[in-house]
Amino acid sequence: MKGIEAHPERCTGCLICQLMCSFTFEGRFNPSRARIKIDRADGSCRISFSRECTLCGRCAEHCLYGALEVRGEG
Ligand code: SF4
Ligand code: SF4
């Protein structure tokens, strides 16, 4: 089964993933409209996905830090 594996220890909090997700599905760069959410607190990042995530992998393709990995087959 396909999934996105998150590696929060590699995440820099750059929010490119949120920008790419919102642009893909909403047609605009608005991180608050993304189906992936990065929470930064105490110098670390927490990565979560909403139920609307389609597992398209767009966010993972654009993460420059290897914090998101597509696993399995759709
Ligand atoms: S998961 Fe990747 S693209 Fe998203 S904020 Fe972290 S480092 Fe940036
Ligand atoms: S896999 Fe696709 S739908 Fe899910 S958070 Fe990433 S870009 Fe958005």
pLDDT one-digit tens code per residue, 3-54: 999 999 999 999 999 999 999 999 999 999 999 999 998 889 999 999 999 9
pTM for the full model? 0.94
- Contact status, residue 60 vs residue 16, Cβ threshold 8 Å: no
How many domains does the chain fold into? 1
Q: What pLDDT is stored for residue 40 in this prediction?
A: 94
Under the banding of pLDDT at 50, 70 and 90, the label for residue 67 is very high
> For atom 8 of ligand 1, which residue has the closest CA?
14
31 and 18 Cβ atoms separated by less than 8 Å: yes
Q: Which sign does the torsion angle of CA 31, 35, 38, 8 carry?
A: negative
Q: β-strands 68-71, 44-49: how paired?
A: unpaired
Q: What pLDDT is recorded for position 33?
A: 97
**65 ligand 1 Cβ < 6 A:** yes
- For the CA of 57, the closest atom of ligand 2 is 1
Pocket test for ligand 1, best of 4, 7, 9, 17 (most atoms within 8 A of CB): 17
User: Domain containing 7: what range?
Assistant: 3-71
What CATH number does residue 52 fall under?
3.30.70.20
